[in-house]
Structure 1
Amino acid sequence: MTEASSSTAAAAGRSAGYVQSLERGLAVIRAFDAEHPRLTLSDVARRTGLTRAAARRFLHTLVDIGYVDADGRLFTLRPRVLELGYAYLSALGLPDIARPHLERLAAVLGESASASVLDGTDITYVARVAAQRIMSVDLGVGTRLPAYATSMGRVLLAGLPEAELEDHLGDLAPLTRYTITERSHLLAELERVREQGWSIVDEELEEGLRSMAAPVRDRTGAVVAAVNVSTAARRGSVTTMVDDVLPHLREAATAITDDLAASR
């Protein structure tokens, strides 16, 4: 990095070792998602804010190293991009530890069970056992959802130090007519989650969907992940879910916490 670029990075709040081209290359990869699996050069430039010339260079580099496929004017991600996520998940160890507990939880309750971690303003699924499909979005490992409107997200947000919380809230856009969008209301809900040690979200992410989550902690007691159970809201009341699901959910979260501590 040149002295000038180092000064620019420092001025932008970046470290002296910041490499802008790496950030831009990752931005090109992130331009593709479930709603935009095939993009033209112009699409990529628009979604990343890069010039067409820069977008072209990054796309062709990614094609050359096997992360992107080119078919005429259209570009798509190749399966090799999964290596980027798998490297993180393998190092974390959480998916392998959580999965048998999620399988037992899903079997006992007959409902889908998942584990996630906080990533910016989103949660990222790191393990999931689907008993049935109850959402319009097909969830799987790597799926990202807004933290503020999910039960796992609220458990993870509630576990943050107060000084870090604001950076992880993002825009509180209404996803359904029930979504909490008032910041003060959400902060009060997070305080309640912090005190009771679990969260329930009732049709705020998607109408007809209810979910309950509990924290997974490290050896110091810090919240490092969350596990949840999702069900159709029509299956019973919130009170019924608390009575019937919460004890099993807490048991699974405690077992994952214990196994995670024993593995490190």
Structure 2
Amino acid sequence: MSETSGSGTRAVDRAADLVATVVQADEPLSFADLQDASGLAKSTTSRMLAALERSGLLERDASGGYVAGRIFWLYAARHDPWEELVRLARPAMEAIGEATGETVHLSITREDRVAQVAQVDSTFLLGTRDWTEIDVPAHCSALGKVFFAWGRLALPDGELEAATEATLTTPAQLRRDAVRTRERGWAITVDELEVGLTGLAAPVRGSHDEVIAAIGISGPSQRLEGRLDELGEELVEHAAELSTLFRPAPGGPHTSPAQKEEVVA
């Protein structure tokens, strides 16, 4: 009984690896690609791929390459595509909130706008506010400046509206700020959206090192001044740890059998 159970578990693991390899690939994969990646016998690979096609987990495109099946597209159509990002980011956001006491934000881009998709409230009474329903101009926000600096949002061509006297409003100012942001690894706004409000943010990267989100904090300028470098570096560390969740792990589906042996060794 235990041998049968173990054999069934191995088969499920192998099938799951095949699905993960296809879903995470940049382009359709051939039968030979999948057999080589899995290290399985040709007959075993063929049987598993056929079963995965029947279940809708995989399908073949016009050229015969394997791609994600209809079940994935059905799921994506029925759910917010950013729910998974928020779920994965929540522990990091809570850790940042616990370490800093400040309001923590997670934002993405939607067309030419910055949209906040999650927030962890400040532990202080001063500074607690729900920003998820507020449309903040990207040039006034540390989160928005992350997207400018790493090319997720195009820098504006003309002058922008000034929310305060400290707001950066010209393309030249924003370009210089983007260079400084990339050099230090995190963005900052001080009194640029509201007088007395400071924000810091760092990029969250995807499987190909592209910026997929920004994570940041905000709080009263008086409380944050003198800690900006410390908080910025802490944000970068948390963002880097969060980014690893969106990359294939060593020994994972993208790793060849030879590389798997090296990892184990």
Q: What's the TM-score, normalizing by structure 1? A: 0.59
Q: Give the C-alpha shift of residue 137 in structure 1.
A: 6.3
1:239-254 matches, cutoff 5 A: 239-243=226-230, 245-254=231-240
Paired positions, count = 173
Match of 2:154 in 1: 165
Task: Say whether 1:214 aligns with 2:206.
Answer: no
Going from structure 1 to structure 2, the CA distance change for 1:106 and 1:218 (only over 3 Å counts) comes to: same
Q: Computing the radius of gyration over CA atoms, which structure comes out larger, 1 or 2? A: 2
CA distance in 1, matches of 2:228, 2:190: 11
Cα distance per residue 1:158-196 (max 9 Å; x no partner): 1117xx624x67761111121011221111111211222
- Where in structure 1 are there 5+ consecutive unaligned residues? 1-83
CA distance in 2, matches of 1:86, 1:126: 14
Amino acid at match of 1:249: L
Cα distance per residue 1:49-78 (max 9 Å; x no partner): xxxxxxxxxxxxxxxxxxxxxxxxxxxxxx
CA distance in 1, matches of 2:154, 2:97: 31
Q: Give the C-alpha shift of residue 224 in structure 1.
A: 1.0
Q: Give the C-alpha shift of residue 262 in structure 1.
A: 4.6
**Which SS does the other structure have where 1:144 is aligned?**
coil
Match of 1:139 in 2: 131
Identical positions, percent: 27
Out of 205, 216, 221, the position equivalent to 1:228 is 216
Match of 1:130 in 2: 121
Going from structure 1 to structure 2, the CA distance change for 1:129 and 1:86 (only over 3 Å counts) comes to: farther
Going from structure 1 to structure 2, the CA distance change for 1:85 and 1:125 (only over 3 Å counts) comes to: farther
Between the two structures, name the one with larger relative contact order (CA 8 Å, sep ≥ 6).
Answer: 2
Q: Give the C-alpha shift of residue 121 in structure 1.
A: 3.3
1:127-206 matches, cutoff 5 A: 127-131=118-122, 132=124, 138-140=130-132, 143-160=134-151, 165-166=154-155, 172-206=160-194
Is the CA contact 1:198–1:213 (under 8 Å) kept in the aligned structure 2?
A: yes
Match of 1:24 in 2: none
Amino acid at match of 1:100: P
Q: Give the C-alpha shift of residue 208 in structure 1.
A: 0.9
**Which SS does the other structure have where 1:145 is aligned?**
coil
C-alpha RMSD of the superposition: 2.7
Going from structure 1 to structure 2, the CA distance change for 1:261 and 1:149 (only over 3 Å counts) comes to: same
Amino acid at match of 1:159: W
Is the CA contact 1:147–1:169 (under 8 Å) kept in the aligned structure 2?
A: no
Is the CA contact 2:148–2:178 (under 8 Å) kept in the aligned structure 1?
A: yes
Going from structure 1 to structure 2, the CA distance change for 1:236 and 1:108 (only over 3 Å counts) comes to: closer
Out of 94, 108, 118, the position equivalent to 1:103 is 94
Q: What's the TM-score, normalizing by structure 2? A: 0.58
**Which SS does the other structure have where 1:124 is aligned?**
strand
Match of 1:67 in 2: none
Structure 1 runs (4+) greater than 6 angstroms displaced: none
Going from structure 1 to structure 2, the CA distance change for 1:150 and 1:250 (only over 3 Å counts) comes to: same
- Where in structure 2 are there 5+ consecutive unaligned residues? 1-76, 254-265
